[in-house]
Amino acid sequence: MSIDPNAGQLPDEHRLAHLPRLVSRYYSERPDVSDPAQQVAFGTSGHRGSSLKTSFNEWHILATTQAICDYRRDQDITGPLFIGMDTHALSEPAFVSALEVLAANGVDTRIDAGCEETNGEPGYTPTPALSNAILNHNRDRTSDLADGIVITPSHNPPVDGGFKYNPTNGGPADTGITKWIQERANALLAAGLEGVKRVSYAQALAAPTTQRFDFIDSYISGLDRVIDMAAIRDSGRTFGVDPLGGAGVHYWTRIAERYQLPLEVISTTVDPTFRFMRLDWDGRIRMDCSSPHAMAGLIENKDRFDVSFACDTDHDRHGIVARSTGLLNPNHYLAVAIEYLFTHRPQWGEGAAIGKTLVSSSMIDRVAKGIGRTVVEVPVGFKWFVDGLMDGSLGFGGEESAGASFLTFDGQPWSTDKDGIILGLLAAEMTAVTGKDPGERYQALTERFGAPVYARVDAPADRDQKARLGKLSPEQVTASELAGHPITRKLTEAPGNGAAIGGLKVETDAGWFAARPSGTEDVYKIYAESFEGEDHLKRIQEEAKALVDGVLKG
């Protein structure tokens, strides 16, 4: 992966997103339903695209929202639907389109109440705040359950839009649900939107089924159930947060004020061009709070705070900057968070396990063994943690791409979607309680369990090859060693739940690799980790590519 020479720098103003063009194309273009690239396609995080590519526009949102209304009727979901949006330029047009359809279908809908900064207009809603609202409504209920829609393309570039559905468990929809919605939405597109019910936006706002909901207060008022706010308040430390212009931008000042935290909100700017962001590795603007390039500004100011942190645009991912080490690799922070939580949450049951995706660091397994907890290893995707967080069998669920959530102090679900807000505040809590920042705590873990190196690379693969990779069996891997060590496991199903991983994972005692086909590009991804250093990691990567290529050639 070559690094753009401008990575880490502020963008050239002439290359910023042209917002009038972006929004105009949202309303003016019509998708060609015969082109797969212009159909509704739900991936692991909903439908994403851009109006500039006719892959995210008014027709897509009208059809998808109607499909969700139809799904709710099919499943007899009769409670309120919570809907929120982030700060991407296409999010507000999509919010308008969705509300027009929801109101026309008579769906009891909860929209953001607005605040002073938005002049009373519906504001921005982080993914975890919406998940938390769904869980709060549904607690102790067996009927009239709530669900939700989050309008966000996550950390994607400014020209992108995203639209995802969270069912009554508050988490990401599983593939059975997304397939149903996707197929119905594409049928509506093919029918020229015949079957889509719609009223004007003014009528939708005035409809008795549309009610204002204070997402900010609902979420913030419960934070002391999941984070030790008193410890942060009384720590004598200094903390900083950069919302990166995202959906939590109006949350952080209120969090600091309500709990009297020594927390500086570095920026409250909202600008859909995201011109304040440093360029990511490929020279594009991307609100990736785990990227050292996108996070260059916060890293440069690391010495101003004991710990600082940021979240991506919908605030479901976290980036942690420690004074001692700078930006933590997401895998490193997951290990630190797990070790701290399971030794500082005495009310969690003895059986509460640790959820990790199979491409997350094996440091987590070593930490888990050290604290006497079980690891539940699942395929990629946060949806696999939802049931465990709901019933308390998982105390923590986290994935390698800097997304995680965990239980309240008394072992109740807080958010069944990823929550970057509580992961940032947890970094402040552990620093306040232990006197060591997350970077120092990770160094201590490496002294006990070794210091792994981890990387992901992409390799070319056509559609047929990707399909073959997704259907591999362990028996097709005939090698007995990987990078000089005996192979201990060959996996095509996740050990934690037996679900297909859509690829292959090969493990040794000193390292591992996992290969998975990309869902959006003609490549497959190789994740690899070594506990014996960079040279050994490169050897794992080379042998992994040769092994997989050999299998793909038949």
CB proximity list for 482: less than 8 A, separation 6 or greater: 506, 508, 511, 512, 513, 540, 543, 544, 547
Given 51, 55, 97, 154, the catalytic residue: 154
- CA 482 vs CA 67, 469, 541: distances in Å: 47, 19, 10
The Cα 332–Cα 238 span in angstroms is 22
Q: Which amino acid is at 401?
A: S
SS (H, E, C) 18-31: CHHHHHHHHHHCCC
The Cα 321–Cα 191 span in angstroms is 50
Dihedral of CA 75/78/80/83: which sign? Answer: positive
Cross-strand pairs, 276: none
The Cα 368–Cα 357 span in angstroms is 14
CB proximity list for 147: less than 8 A, separation 6 or greater: 72, 77, 79, 81, 82, 134, 165, 166, 167, 168
Query: What is the bridge-based pairing of β-strands 511-517 and 500-507?
Result: antiparallel
For 16-33, letters b (16+ CB in 10 Å) and e give bbeeeebbebbeebebeb
Q: Which residue has the tokens 């947060």?
A: 241
List the alpha helices (DSSP H) in 191-348. Answer: 201-206, 215-220, 229-233, 252-259, 296-300, 330-344
Q: Which residue has the tokens 């939700």?
A: 148
Count the helix, strand and coil residues of the chain and give each as a percent rounded to the nearest 5. 40, 20, 40
- Identify whether 405 is a catalytic site residue: no
Cβ-contact 437, 431 below 8 angstroms: yes
Dihedral of CA 516/520/522/528: which sign? Answer: negative
Of 321, 334, 373, 358, residue with least CA distance to 496:
358
Token representation of residue 285:
């603007």
- CA 435 vs CA 77, 232, 444: distances in Å: 48, 11, 13
The Cα 238–Cα 305 span in angstroms is 5
Residues with catalytic roles: 154
